[in-house]
């Protein structure tokens, strides 16, 4: 819209920048429950201005998350040329988890309709991951019965697991990435009990704690 039609007014551009910065910080600190009002206050602008730039809170979140996703995809692409395919995959997972410490992307796996540009970027990222996984597999670094989807699904697990320990050391997640990655190795291990799922997602599912619009598809929970 504004970005294509006109060059955007000077003050508007400034506001947009500090809005994005504030949103990133706020989402990182409070999670998806961060309120638009708080973000606006932090950015030093009025709440109305937020909605002028992004018609919806979800769109704001999408904007914040977009470059992280693109960055991850770029990293994956770079790592696809590294000789040691196994090490490349591990490094990617390391980087992914590391960045999740700052902002949870896990909802990306389900939110099929967050934003057109975002879901496009997500698609690219998933494709790059697929390349990484298949290379690692061809190199014998991970077992043959692993599908790229599996890695995508497990990608966020280390961060999630660690999010439950109170004063977690900043790199505790590496421990769990280590365990999970060892589970991907071809060493011992019998056959897996279930085939991988078809796809991660493409239907509209909402990020948890975001908008209680429909009857909600229900995250299965104990």
Hey, which residues between 85 and 144 contact DNA (CB under 7 A)? Answer: none
Q: Which is nearer to DNA, 14 or 175 (CB)?
A: 14
Residue 48 touches DNA, criterion: CB under 7 A: yes
CA separation for the pair 141, 85 (Å, rounded): 7
Region of 208 (left: φ > 0; alpha: ψ -120 to 50; beta: rest) is beta
Of the candidates 23, 41, 44, 42, the one whose C-alpha atom is nearest the C-alpha of residue 32 is 23
Structure tokens at 219: 């995250």
Contacts to a second copy from residues 46-105, by CB under 8 A: 65, 68, 99-105
Interaction partner, residue 84 (a second copy, DNA, none; CB < 5-8 Å by kind): none
* Measured CA angle at 113 (ends 117, 54), to 5 deg: 60
Q: Which is nearer to DNA, 58 or 128 (CB)?
A: 58
Interaction partner, residue 80 (DNA, a second copy, none; CB < 5-8 Å by kind): none
Residue 163 touches DNA, criterion: CB under 7 A: no
Among 21, 28, 51, 183, binds DNA (CB under 7 A): 51
- Helix residue ranges, H only, the chain: 2-5, 10-30, 36-43, 47-53, 57-79, 85-100, 116-138, 148-154, 157-162, 173-184
Residue 119 touches a second copy, criterion: CB under 8 A: no
Q: How many residues bind a second copy (CB under 8 A)?
A: 74
Please check whether residue 142 is in contact with residue 86, taking contact to mean a CB–CB distance below 8 angstroms: yes
Binding site for DNA (CB under 7 A): 2, 6, 8-12, 14-15, 33-38, 44-49, 51-53, 55-58, 211-212
């Amino acid at each position: 819209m504004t970005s294509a039609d006109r060059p955007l007014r000077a003050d508007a551009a400034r506001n947009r920048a500090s809005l994005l910065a504030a949103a990133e910080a706020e989402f990182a600190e409070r999670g998806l429950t961060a309120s638009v009002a708080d973000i606006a206050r932090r950015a030093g602008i009025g709440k109305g201005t937020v909605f002028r730039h992004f018609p919806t809170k979800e769109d704001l979140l999408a904007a914040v998350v977009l470059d992280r996703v693109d960055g991850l995809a770029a990293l994956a692409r770079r790592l696809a040329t590294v000789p040691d395919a196994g090490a490349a995959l591990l490094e990617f997972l390391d980087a992914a988890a590391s960045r999740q410490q700052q902002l949870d992307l896990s909802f990306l796996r389900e939110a099929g309709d967050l934003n057109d540009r975002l879901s496009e970027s997500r698609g690219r990222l998933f494709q790059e991951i697929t390349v990484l996984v298949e290379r690692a597999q061809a190199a014998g670094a991970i077992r043959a019965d692993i599908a790229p989807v599996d890695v995508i699904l497990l990608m966020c697990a280390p961060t999630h697991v660690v999010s439950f320990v109170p004063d977690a050391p900043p790199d505790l997640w590496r421990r769990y990435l280590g365990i999970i990655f060892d589970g991907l190795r071809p060493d011992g291990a019998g056959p897996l009990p279930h085939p991988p799922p078809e796809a991660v997602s493409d239907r509209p599912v909402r990020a948890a704690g975001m908008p209680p619009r429909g009857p909600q598809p229900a995250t299965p929970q104990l």
